[in-house]
Chain A
Amino acid sequence: MIEVNELTKTYGSGERAVMAVDHVTFTVHPGVVTGFLGPNGAGKSTTMRSILGLDRPTSGTATVNGRAFRDAPAPLSELGALLEAKALDKGRSARNHLLALGATIGVGAGRVDEVLELVGLTDVARSRAGGFSLGMGQRLGIAAALLGDPQAVMLDEPVNGLDPDGIRWIRTLLKDLAGQGRTVFVSSHLMSEMELTADHLIVIGAGRIMADMPMGEFIRQSSQHRVRVISPDAARLRDLLVGPQVAVSSDAPERLEIEGLHAREVGIVAAEHGIVLHQLVDVAPSLEEAFMELTRDSVAYHGSVAQPGKAA
């Protein structure tokens, strides 16, 4: 369990002070994968760094399993974290890197070899970590996070640099960890990936929490849900479906787009009236659509089209 309470972090001072995180409060519960979403510069990393005690909050608190992480007797067994894949010493082998970390809580070579096997780095365990690709670095960072068999895992952009196989592997791993009753807190800017992995969402924008709810609810409340139907008898179905809460549109003779009903309800109506359906699809808005809608006004760094002649 990770609890963040009224966390505020300001960098710099005086007029140049930048408030990276502004009175942020949320709880990450065990047993589910909690996704942490936000545009670049929204405060994701600052929040994670404050939870780890790497940054000292300007005000507010962050606790892991009920106490400040700094006070954890065996820190690596309470919260395993991956912040940057390349936060390691390039001259040391992967195995020695993990041995040194494990030594802080009395975890030895047996467990080190186990996590190396788990992340698929056994073959390169004795090679210098400086020669690793970004993807291998991520795997080593994940190995470090899992080393102490922690009750909570916090990963910042874990799928960065991983190949499709690696991404699938992470997805399964995170779900397994949550299934074992652990707290899993993961940030990603890859919406489609987050949509597949996370059960719960915390959305941050411009240093403030904008949403904290189950994934399904977030998608449902943020955007309109549609049902797409293809039927030779589209006109008759349309007349049966339209109502005060239901809008039906059509861009081709046999096609319907229905707002305000779910596919299940449309299917029942069609069956009751013996209407043949060739296709019946729930078109849920993607997480990306829902997210963009929510954070449109809070993106810190908008891309802009360069204006020729106006360059400084």
Chain B
Amino acid sequence: MVTDTDTERTTTGGTTSPPTAPATSARPATWGRVLRSEWIKTRSLRSTWLTAAAILIVVVGFGVLAAMAAGGDISGPNGGGPRLAGRGGPLATVLAGANLAVLVVAVLGAVVGAREFASGMIRTTFAAVPRRLPVLGGKLVTFVAVVLPVVLVGLLGAFFAGMAVLDHSGAATLSWSDDGVARALIGQALYVVGLGLIGLALGVLLRSTAAAIGTTLGAVLFLPALATALLPSDWSTVLKYLPSNAGSAFTSLNPTGDVLTVGQGAAVFAGWVVLASAGAVIALLRRDA
């Protein structure tokens, strides 16, 4: 009780408080209130909803198109309609749009992370929340809250619609209850959102939208693919710990080659997300804004 009274006295400012009664009843800037602030920021940008729509269209649309092509309902560019479904299996076919979603979400993350630094808004934000850390927390949580449901809905839509198309044309299909399907789909959703979070963290770290997009796409997505292709195979023990390779351990149905187990892959990938976020936290707290 003594501490309560003391706090009360401090917040009202003692004898130096303005003689007028405050017109507003300000409350402490808790993590929850800062999260709400970040949610209002996200909600009030048209690009948020355009990107969400783009993710849905890309994931479902390309999944259905790929299923139609694989099932022979539409012709490929060379006029032929071989049953492509066998190349990566039916799951890979209906999730054809997921790779594009990875790009869209990674770019979105980088933009969300760097946006306020690029516009100068971050100084207004930090003047309202000088502790800074809740701002990053709010951005990360809001990003997951918006993007994860959209990606999940998109992947599920692509799965069920794509499988229906494949089934209609008599190609091989998978059902939700087949071994590993649910895990691969949810894993894919988490992987996409995780890359978005890495993009967000890099955006905060680099404070430039272009640099963040370049680094996220280059270092996280293309570099590992390039390294896997160019380096001798005995490097694979190292390369499998890269974000994209660790991701494929829990996003693909039947991983091939020297890869981590599902659990290891998830843990390693989560480690990358945490590492990038930790870098963002340190930069955020140490730098002048």
> Chain A interface (Cβ within 8 Å of chain B)?
1, 30, 49, 52-56, 65, 69-70, 72-77, 81, 83-84, 86-93, 96, 99-101, 103-107, 111, 114, 144, 148-149, 151, 180-182
Interface 1/0 per residue, B255-289 and A, CB below 8 Å:
00000000000000000000000000000001011
A55 in contact with B288 (CB, 8 Å): yes
B120 in contact with A65 (CB, 8 Å): no
Which residues does chain B contribute within 8 Å of A53, judged by CB atoms?
126, 130
Per a CB cutoff under 8 Å, which of A54, A104, A151 touches B34?
A104
Residue of B nearest to A110 (CB): B24
A75 in contact with B20 (CB, 8 Å): no
A111 in contact with B18 (CB, 8 Å): no
A1 to B13: give the CA distance in the assembly, Å: 10
Question: A70-B130, A74-B26, A105-B29 in contact; A180/B123 too (CB < 8 A)?
Answer: no
Which residues does chain A contribute within 8 Å of B75, judged by CB atoms?
none
A30 to B17: give the CA distance in the assembly, Å: 9
Residue of A nearest to B7 (CB): A73
Q: How big is the B interface, by class? A: 35 or more
| Sample of 14 A–B contacts (CB below 8 Å) | A1-B16, A52-B126, A54-B123, A65-B13, A72-B130, A76-B29, A77-B22, A91-B45, A92-B41, A101-B128, A105-B28, A149-B26, A181-B17, A181-B20
Which residues does chain B contribute within 8 Å of A72, judged by CB atoms?
130
Max chain B CB contacts within 10 Å: which of A1, A96, A149? Answer: A149
Asked if B115 lies at the interface with its beta carbon under 8 angstroms from chain A, I say yes
A89 in contact with B26 (CB, 8 Å): no
Beyond A89-B45, A92-B45, 17 additional pairs, beta carbon < 8 A = A30-B18, A53-B130, A65-B13, A86-B120, A87-B120, A96-B40, A96-B41, A99-B44, A100-B40, A104-B37, A104-B128, A105-B27, A105-B29, A111-B24, A151-B17, A181-B18, A182-B18
Chain B proximity of A115: nearest CB distance (Å): 10
Asked if B129 lies at the interface with its beta carbon under 8 angstroms from chain A, I say yes
A147 to B126: give the CA distance in the assembly, Å: 15
Question: A91-B46, A180-B18 in contact; A73/B28 too (CB < 8 A)?
Answer: yes
Which residues does chain B contribute within 8 Å of A1, judged by CB atoms?
16
Asked if B141 lies at the interface with its beta carbon under 8 angstroms from chain A, I say no
Residue of B nearest to A77 (CB): B26
B18 in contact with A75 (CB, 8 Å): no
Interface 1/0 per residue, B106-128 and A, CB below 8 Å:
00000000011001111111111
Residue of B nearest to A52 (CB): B127
Asked if B77 lies at the interface with its beta carbon under 8 angstroms from chain A, I say no
A8 to B240: give the CA distance in the assembly, Å: 49
B121 in contact with A88 (CB, 8 Å): yes
A54 to B46: give the CA distance in the assembly, Å: 29
A104 in contact with B127 (CB, 8 Å): no
Max chain B CB contacts within 10 Å: which of A52, A53, A88, A106? Answer: A106
Please count the residue pairs between chain A and chain B whose beta carbons lie under 8 angstroms apart in the complex: 133
Which residues does chain B contribute within 8 Å of A52, judged by CB atoms?
126-127, 130
Question: A1-B16, A87-B120, A89-B116 in contact; A74/B131 too (CB < 8 A)?
Answer: no
A105 in contact with B33 (CB, 8 Å): yes
B33 in contact with A88 (CB, 8 Å): no
Max chain A CB contacts within 10 Å: which of B22, B23, B24, B120? Answer: B24
Which residues does chain B contribute within 8 Å of A107, judged by CB atoms?
24, 26
Asked if B19 lies at the interface with its beta carbon under 8 angstroms from chain A, I say yes
Interface 1/0 per residue, B230-272 and A, CB below 8 Å:
0000000000000000000000000000000000000000000
A285 to B120: give the CA distance in the assembly, Å: 39
A69 to B289: give the CA distance in the assembly, Å: 15
Asked if B168 lies at the interface with its beta carbon under 8 angstroms from chain A, I say no
